[in-house]
Amino acid sequence: MNDNPSTQDLNYQDAVTAVEKTLADLRGCPPKEREQLQADIAQLNEMHDKLISGRIEIVIFGEISTGKSALVNALIGRQVAEVDVQGGWTQQVWGTVWNGAGYRLPSLEKSEIVIIDTPGINEVGGADRAQLAEVTARQADLILFVTDSDLNDTEYAALVELAAIQKPILLVFNKTDLYTPAVKATLIETLKVRIDGLIPPDHLVLTAADPREIEYAIEQPDGSTQSVWKKPEPEISELKLLILQTLENEGLGLIALNAAMYAADKSDRISSLRVELRNRQADQVIWTMAATKAVVVAANPIPVVDLLGGLAVDAVMIATLSKVYGLTFTMSQARGLAKTISAAGGIYALGELANYGASFFKLVTGTLGTALTLIPQGAAVGFGSYIIGKSAKHYFEHGGSWGAGSAKSVVKEILATTDKSSVMNHLKDEIRQKLKSNRHSKLGRSDR
């Protein structure tokens, strides 16, 4: 990366703008969307605060008993984490400020480095581990992955997941004091092969965060020697130097890139949720209006009026769908789109031929024909309304256009991919249910 300071400053300002714009988009979502995005809003607010203050977050991952907690203590310079030889004490994500780092981001005097520890990756399952990486690692600016030997399958899988997030990762080979020089050299070469393509080889660093005690021979004044066991100082200077060099070269750029990527992820989340909610709402409108049209048309005892009633229902459906997708169609525009779709689909394909036939039958037989035509006519017009709704949905999904195709090709595709018998049966059930719920409907009683 190695951007010069002026470029990093520009990237930083762009990142602040991106985060603030995404926050504005989140806050400006309709109530239903905003309700489901509360966690995202809180996380992005935290990212904004982090960016403005210049807080650098270094997150530590690794299996239990690899010395993660000891590494935190060694870096901080005091006991801030429990070091349990049995491992597994860290049950949740937590962090502490690294005051002794002696580093500040340029032009951000209040900047600080926070070291964040996480539960051991072998304490949580695959899905939970992926969620942990999603929430914690995506907010991190630098990741330390701690191991104390060759990577096992669980460690390697976790490392691959973290590498996919595209954050700088340092592989920390800890507890090196436990190995002979020959074994240590072999493990280093093995690790370099394992991380090839995932982490640069110069991002492998050796530490002994909590070295074992060593026997020292202390010469006494009388010339004799006394055996004393002492714990050496932690060996973390190489790691500390690599962290500070990374921050010196890329610090401002790191948090800028991290924030920009985070904002982009949240923007994608907004778009995805919006599509999901709109689809759900649009499908509900289509089914409801199709069933409504079926009853309005078929149960209307007055010929021709049933046809006009059906057209009105389609227009209302399309106007309602336009609002779901952030557009506003007048009733005149809605009727026009309904006619366009009907013409594109053909009078037979959309079931309107059966509708006209049933209406004519009512005309020549009087209202006595209504009971006989109720179910077939209702199913036919309901299916037609369903196709009109699906076509209008496609139109609105593409911002008020037919996309790369035409109205005819879109309707044809929807007809080809729709299970007509399933839709018709569903609508027949809807018709019967609505009529049965009306105690005053003679048609409903005759159909029971």
114 strand-pairing partners: 57, 97
In the prediction, which pLDDT does 222 show? Answer: 78
Task: Quickly name the fold that domain 5-270 has.
Answer: Rossmann fold (3.40.50)
* Residue type for position 413: E
In whole angstroms, what is the distance from residue 22 CA to residue 354 CA?
A: 51
In the prediction, which pLDDT does 135 show? Answer: 73
In the prediction, which pLDDT does 436 show? Answer: 66
In the prediction, which pLDDT does 88 show? Answer: 41
In whole angstroms, what is the distance from residue 380 CA to residue 425 CA?
A: 11
In whole angstroms, what is the distance from residue 291 CA to residue 288 CA?
A: 5
In whole angstroms, what is the distance from residue 154 CA to residue 432 CA?
A: 57
In whole angstroms, what is the distance from residue 64 CA to residue 147 CA?
A: 9
Could you give the residue range(s) of every CATH 3.40.50.300 domain in the chain? 5-270
Instruction: Name every residue whose Cβ is closer than 8 Å to that of residue 292 and which is 6 or more positions away in sequence.
Output: 313
92 strand-pairing partners: none
In the prediction, which pLDDT does 4 show? Answer: 55
In the prediction, which pLDDT does 155 show? Answer: 92
In whole angstroms, what is the distance from residue 122 CA to residue 418 CA?
A: 47
With contact defined as beta carbons under 8 Å apart, do 384 and 352 qualify?
A: yes
Per-block mean pLDDT, blocks of 10 residues, the chain (448 long):
61 88 84 83 88 89 90 86 46 69 75 86 64 74 94 91 89 96 96 93 94 82 80 92 87 84 84 85 90 69 46 88 89 91 67 43 41 61 87 91 90 90 82 61 45
In the prediction, which pLDDT does 274 show? Answer: 79
Give the β-pairing of 55-62 and 142-147.
Answer: parallel
In whole angstroms, what is the distance from residue 142 CA to residue 153 CA?
A: 23
In the prediction, which pLDDT does 446 show? Answer: 43
